[in-house]
Amino acid sequence: MAWEFLTVYWREMIRFVRFRTQLLSSLLQPALWMGFFGVAMSANFNRFTAGIPVPPGTVPVDYLTFMAAGMIAMTTLFTSLFGGMSLLFDKNWGLMREMLASPMPRTHIMLGVSLSGITKSFIQVVIIMVFGLILGVEFFPGFSPARIAISILGILVFVGVFSLGFLLFSSNISMRLESPEGLQGIITLLTMPLFFVSNALYPIQAFPPLLQTLSAYNPLTHLVNGIRYFALGSEFFAVGAEYAYTPTDILLSFSYLLVFAAVMYVLARRAFQKAVVT
């Protein structure tokens, strides 16, 4: 059958709901980041940049609003990187052996886990946006209802493709490892460079040339570009810097994420096809 992956997807979502600690932590984490880190940093950055004149015709954006897009990206990154953890538990509990021995194509296991991870990312994105609006985040400034709907859809499409890429990356690593500690070590090693060598929290114009180059190839940077384009518009001024995105810029960022997800799919597919669980 062509829809076996939905069984894996449904099982992952049931596991997500039933493990109350995981559910609450994944839902509260983005709200806590916005509520504590976002508000505290916003007060400081707004004070430091208060004297910088805003270019005529450019929409001014406070730091909390600027950072909210980065929080969406950061939460998506963390959720996606940890998405493959369930595969390791399945291997340790003997469930993976049963799934690999079943008539279901192995790629359906990978797709079911990935689809559940994307759904979790969508849930967290909605929580961040709603909670951010309560805190005073000014997303969709002057947008019409129709444009807001299109913008939300655009944000979810970017988040979905980015999440898929890193979920496949996490699944690829999980199928090659035997212990959750190994995956946690790799995730810890990757998250900080990916997060801080990006434009999630601050402009990258002041980065040294090497870090600017690394940021340009960082998938997180391209996700943030897409989120800010749809949430704030094509031109705005924030943290002392002017931002201007063209449709071509956004298409290039989206294409980069698509290529990244495609490469991760090939690698993850190969890992699943070669997997042997005893």
User: What is residue 214's predicted lDDT score, i.e. its pLDDT?
Assistant: 92
What is the 8-class DSSP label of residue 236?
Answer: E
Using the CB atoms, write b or e for 97-125: b if 16+ within 10 Å: eebbeeebebebbbbbbbbbbbbbbbbbb
More confident residue, 26 or 69: 69
Domain hosting 71: range is 22-274
Q: Is 180 within the bounds of a domain?
A: yes
User: What is residue 20's predicted lDDT score, i.e. its pLDDT?
Assistant: 65
pLDDT interval class at 258 (50, 70, 90): very high
Question: How many domains, the chain?
Answer: 1
User: What is residue 148's predicted lDDT score, i.e. its pLDDT?
Assistant: 93
Q: Is 1 within the bounds of a domain?
A: no
Q: Is 17 within the bounds of a domain?
A: no
Q: Is 9 within the bounds of a domain?
A: no
- Residue 45: phi and psi, rounded to 5, are -65, -40
User: What is residue 228's predicted lDDT score, i.e. its pLDDT?
Assistant: 94
| 177: exposed, middle or buried (Cβ count in 10 Å: 0-12, 13-18, 19+) | middle
Q: Is 65 within the bounds of a domain?
A: yes
First to last CA, the chain: 26
What angle, rounded to 10 degrees, do the helices at 5-18 and 106-135 form?
A: 40
Grouping H, G, I as helix, E, B as strand and the rest as coil, residue 166 is: helix
pLDDT interval class at 171 (50, 70, 90): confident
Q: Is 197 within the bounds of a domain?
A: yes
Q: Is 8 within the bounds of a domain?
A: no
Q: Select from 248, 207, 260 the least CA-distant residue to 268.
A: 260
